[in-house]
Amino acid sequence: MKILITGGAGFIGSHVVRLFVTKYPEYQIFNLDKLTYAGNLENLRDIENASNYNFIKGDIVDAEFINSIFQQEAFDAVIHLAAESHVDRSITDPLAFVFTNVIGTVNLLNAAKEQWKGNFDGHLFYHVSTDEVYGSLGEEGMFTEETPYDPRSPYSASKASSDHFVRAYHETYGLPVKVSNCSNNYGPNHFPEKLIPLAINNIKNGKPVPVYGKGENVRDWLFVKDHATAIDAVFHKGKIGDTYNIGGVNEWKNIDLIRLLCDIMDEKTGEPQGTSQQLITFVTDRAGHDLRYAIDSSKIMHELDWKPSVTFEEGLSKTVDWYLENKEWLQHVTSGSYQDYYQTQYTR
Ligand code: NAD
Ligand code: DAU
């Protein structure tokens, strides 16, 4: 089987590529990535010479290019992760999210439909999406696969749009699709614009740790390698046309999570307990900041026999170790344009 994985040089994509390359030596894996600021081939150094791994640099917004690689390689299946993924960037530049997340997805759907036309058997277009499409929860309740869509940021609106297109291609043309909607991931290779790696990097450098608003917002955190195993389960065992919610059953208020992270950092760096917590700084809230996300994962757990493999404490500890051990990686991704981004985002 020839599988196209888009966005494989990014955070989650690199873990999915690694899992598929190592677990399924009989598959040929093609990683298609534009290598934006978030794409990094250093994430895949350990598997880049594997005989079943292939890298293609390219932009999913370029329809002609996408059609040509489908004709050239005749992929059997697609796992689509490429996206603009950061909510704060979507607030300053919504159009970039429309291009990649909406138009890029439709370009891939068109190319797959054209390539597989007349015979959809044995083919699959698997779209990786987010729980943010369901909107914001109050104190109670969880997102299920039946929760109506209510996206509230330009990022989630663009992901919701792409989800709708994927399902529309299934209903209209019979394209074999699957969709999964996952909660917040954390772990190695996470770009330090997102809360957890940003906080680790700032604590490491003795810089303020910015917490939006009062830190009351709640997220449901899942270790990235557990998301990759969930994607494997949906890809191989999920039903065509179905949606699967994936979450960690692991809700944390931002401020509680940051306090825990500070304590883990103090412990691992030999600082007295309480040192890093002094860096916590409350800053202007994110516009339209969703209060709470929580995923009901019972469908994937019962139907596909998937569950998270690590507790949050174990996962966070492994994550902190990874960032402390991979200084060079962190240095590379926080030089250059990251400094400009940080300046603009945090000195408003
Ligand atoms: P990321 O930002 O770390 O990586 C995105 C990757 O896509 C990068 O390698 C980037 O170079 C590539 N890319 C961006 N635009 C492209 C384009 N036009 N053409 C080709 N490649 C392009 O993102 P991530 O956090 O790994 O998320 C991956 C997917 O999972 C996204 O679809 C995201 O919506 C979804 N998701 C993320 C989370 C999370 O917590 N990070 C949770 C649920 C779902
Ligand atoms: O829920 C899944 C989504 O999780 C994914 O679809 C997105 O791609 C991913 O980026 C993530 O979105 P969030 O906006 O929840 O993640 P982020 O790490 O940006 O923020 C987590 C929480 O922390 C959120 O409530 C905002 C807050 N925050 C974030 C940053 C960057 C802060 O308080 N300070 C910060 O500096």
Per CATH, is 2-186+221-248+294-310+338-346 categorized as 3.30.70.360? no
Tell me how far the alpha carbon of residue 275 lies from the centroid of ligand 1, in angstroms. Answer: 34
**Percentage of the chain lying above the pLDDT 70 cut:** 100
Q: Report the pocket of ligand 2 as residue ranges, CB < 6 Å.
A: 85-87, 130-132, 183-184, 194-195, 198, 210-212, 217, 219, 254, 286, 293
Q: CA-CA distance, 221 to 294, in Å (whole number)?
A: 9
With CA atoms as reference, report the closest residue to 176 among 186, 184, 167.
167
- Residue 336: pLDDT band by 50, 70, 90 thresholds? confident
Tell me how far the alpha carbon of residue 81 lies from the centroid of ligand 1, in angstroms. Answer: 5
Does ligand 1 come within 6 angstroms of the Cβ of 104? Answer: yes
232 three-state secondary structure: helix
pLDDT tens digits along 267-302:
999 999 999 999 999 999 999 999 999 999 999 999
Q: CA-CA distance, 120 to 52, in Å (whole number)?
A: 24
Task: Specify the pLDDT at position 348.
Answer: 66
Task: Provide mean pLDDT across the span 135-154.
Answer: 98
In this structure, which long-range contacts are made by residues 202-208, counting pairs with CB atoms below 8 Å and at least 24 apart in sequence? 202/279, 203/261, 203/262, 203/265, 203/276, 203/279, 204/265, 204/269, 204/323, 204/324, 204/330, 206/279, 207/279, 208/279, 208/280, 208/281
- Residue 67: pLDDT band by 50, 70, 90 thresholds? very high
pLDDT tens digits along 223-252:
999 999 999 999 999 999 999 999 999 999
Domain boundaries, the chain: 2-186+221-248+294-310+338-346
**Percentage of the chain lying above the pLDDT 90 cut:** 99
Q: CA-CA distance, 212 to 254, in Å (whole number)?
A: 9
Distances (CA, A) of 7 to 30, 37, 146, 240: 10, 12, 27, 22
**Does pLDDT of 179 surpass 80?**
yes
Tell me how far the alpha carbon of residue 194 lies from the centroid of ligand 2, in angstroms. Answer: 6
- Is there a catalytic annotation at residue 132? yes
- Is there a catalytic annotation at residue 145? no
Task: Provide mean pLDDT across the span 158-163.
Answer: 99
